[in-house]
Amino acid sequence: MKTIQAYRFALDLTPGQERDVLAHAGAARVAFNWALVKVKAVMDQRTAERSYGVPDEALTPSLSWSLAGLRKAWNAAKPGVAPWWGEVSKEAFNTGLEALARGVKNWADSRRGARAGRPVRFPRFKSRRRTAPSVRFTTGAIRVEPDRMHVVLPRLGRLKLHESARKLARRLDNGTARIMSATVRRGGGRWHVSFTVEVERAEGAPARPRSVVGVDVGITHLAVLSTGELVDNPRHLAAAQRRMRSLGRALSRKTGPDRRTARRPSKRWERAAARLGRAHARVAHLRRDGLHKLTTRLAREHATIVVEDLNVAGMLANRKLARCVADAGFAEIRRQLAYKTGWNGGRLLLADRWYPSSKTCSGCGTVKTKLALSEREYTCQACGLVIDRDRNASLNLAALAAEFDTAGSGPVAARGADQKTRVRGQVATKREPGTASAGQTGTVPPQGRTTNRVLAKAH
């Protein structure tokens, strides 16, 4: 099974190497901004000519938005725009032109409805100070040295890694991996190199081939599994909030940049901004590490994982819960499970966004009309089942796997998966009170009451 995955390593650059990388990143930014000026000028000119009644055949010739068209225009103009173009790799200019071509295409597709998701804005100019320096190499000498502590990139030469690249080197030596591109980027005060690799992976199999688990994500507990396991939410951002406030106050006292007066930031402001950036990067790294460990364990152990299609963007609109929701990383959990289940021979099922997993009794299937967020314990008026709200939702999600197999394909949209929750007393699926859901054995034990605030869900 061939897959595309990334290997990311930290770099230890010398001052001279850092200047070279910054020069390549600056060349990419120059090419991007130049091409954006040309595209905007042609678009504005054609719009003005149409307003004057000029026929379409007499309009100013349009500029191709494709990478090939932008590259052709750049090669013709680069001697005058960037006379120093020979000092950096051609891949630097290709990085900026490719980013613009992709951005303009996404904007055009979004305008005509060919792209799903939020509307995409027209590309904006890249700032030297606000844009993270980055450059991507797709051709030339890209390899990992035999000592596995150095990599070689075009024009940049031999760069030292902060950590061993033995995992990637083993695949390269065995012939089960092929490097397609390498991206050098600075973030959180460090330089990293990311290799996009085509990997030949062996067909995996979960440890429990017939296991079905429902995963209900939340804030008090990051995940509640239908097996009864509770995964604690580490709350990395909340733990670092005190230090971040202190660093933010220290930064505000320094002389920062001012675009109105063209004032440059002081050295102390730059050092304070770097300290704050490293604190944010540490939180992001801790969150990413925890989510990877959780999703890897679930994908390797269970054959079928059922999660909800949550409206995370809508949850972030709630100002009281936005920080907690962003800190938990619900969308990242689903994204990682999507590809890791494929790697390990499992499958990921998505419950419809309007499926009332919390309002449905996991014992008899009765659906409540309303369930307040303050009710942390689910009490069924039909069968008398008393169970923790999140555990009840995870059991209902696990039960959807059997209905998905019956439906055949597509998203799970069973038992009230629409915008209206059916009235109390309406039974969706006949099941004996107190019995376990699909993939589970034994009875559903009552859970203790949870008093902490948890996630506000779409249902």
- 92-109: pLDDT as tens digits: 999 999 999 999 999 999
Q: Please determine, for residue 454, whether its predicted confidence score (pLDDT) is greater than 80.
A: no
For the beta carbon of residue 122, count every other beta carbon within 10 angstroms.
Answer: 15
| Two tokens, residue 419 | 């915008």
Average pLDDT of the chain to the nearest whole number: 86
108 burial class (0-12, 13-18, 19+ CB within 10 angstroms)?
middle
**R_g of the chain, CA atoms, integer Å:** 27
- What local confidence, expressed as pLDDT, does residue 305 receive? 95
For residue 425, the model assigns a pLDDT of 38
Q: Average pLDDT, stretch 359-385?
A: 87
Q: What is the pTM of this model?
A: 0.81
What would the pLDDT profile of 165-200 be if each residue is shown by its tens digit?
999 999 999 999 999 999 999 988 899 999 999 999
Domain regions of the chain by residue span: 2-14+133-200, 24-111, 208-407
DSSP symbol at 87: G
Query: What is each CA distance from 362 to 370, 384, 396, 410, 457, in whole angstroms?
Result: 16, 11, 6, 23, 18
Q: Is the pLDDT of residue 434 over 70?
A: no
Question: What 8-state DSSP symbol labels residue 147?
Answer: T
CA-nearest of 214, 172, 263, 189 to 11 is 189
Task: State residue 406's pLDDT score.
Answer: 66
Closest-CA residue to 216 (of 44, 398, 443): 398
In degrees, to the nearest 5, what angle opens at C-alpha 171 toward C-alphas 165 and 174?
A: 130
Question: What residues are paired with 143 via a beta bridge?
Answer: 152
Q: Within a 10 A sphere around the Cβ of 423, how many other Cβ atoms? A: 9
Q: What sign results for the dihedral spanned by CA atoms 95, 129, 24, 62?
A: positive
Contact between 166 and 135 (Cβ < 8 Å):
no
Buried b (16+ CB within 10 A) or exposed e, 186-218: bebeebbbbbbbebeeeeeebeeeebbbbbbbb
Side-chain half-sphere CA neighbours of 239 within 13 A: 10
C-alpha torsion angle, residues 410, 411, 415, 417 (rounded to 10):
-130
**Higher local confidence (pLDDT), 393 or 409:** 393
Q: How many CB atoms lie within 10 A of CB 258?
A: 10
The per-residue b/e assignment along 267-294, b for 16 or more CB within 10 angstroms, e otherwise, is: eebbebbeebeebbeebeeebeebbeeb
Taking the CA atoms of 403, 407, 412 and 418 in sequence, report the sign of the dihedral they define: negative
The full length of the chain comes to: 459
- The pLDDT-based confidence of 259 (bands split at 50, 70, 90) is confident
Are 313 and 322 in contact, with CB atoms under 8 Å apart? Answer: no
Q: What is the pLDDT of residue 318?
A: 87
Instruction: Compute the average pLDDT of residues 258-271.
Output: 92
The residues annotated with a catalytic role in the active site are 216, 308, 390
Residue among 295, 278, 300, 282 nearest 332 (CA):
295
Rounded-to-integer distance, Cα 445 and Cα 442, Å: 9
CA-based torsion, 292, 295, 298, 300: positive or negative = negative
- What are the phi and psi torsion angles at 269 (to 5°)? -65, -40
The helix (H) or strand (E) run that includes residue 134 is: strand 134-137
CB-CB contact of 282 with 230 (8 Å): no
Above 60 in pLDDT, residue 414?
A: no
By DSSP bridging, strand 157-161 and strand 177-187 are: unpaired
Q: What is the pLDDT of residue 208?
A: 92
How confident is the model at residue 432, as a pLDDT? 37
Six-digit token pair at 283?
């939180």
Which residue in the block uniquely carries the two structure tokens 């034990």?
445
At 106-159, the pLDDT tens digits run 999 999 999 988 899 999 999 988 899 999 999 989 999 999 999 999 999 999
**Under DSSP, is residue 451 helix (H, G, I), strand (E, B) or coil?**
coil
Per-residue CA distances from 132 to 34, 127, 238 (Å): 18, 9, 26
Contact 237/283 with Cβ under 8 angstroms?
yes
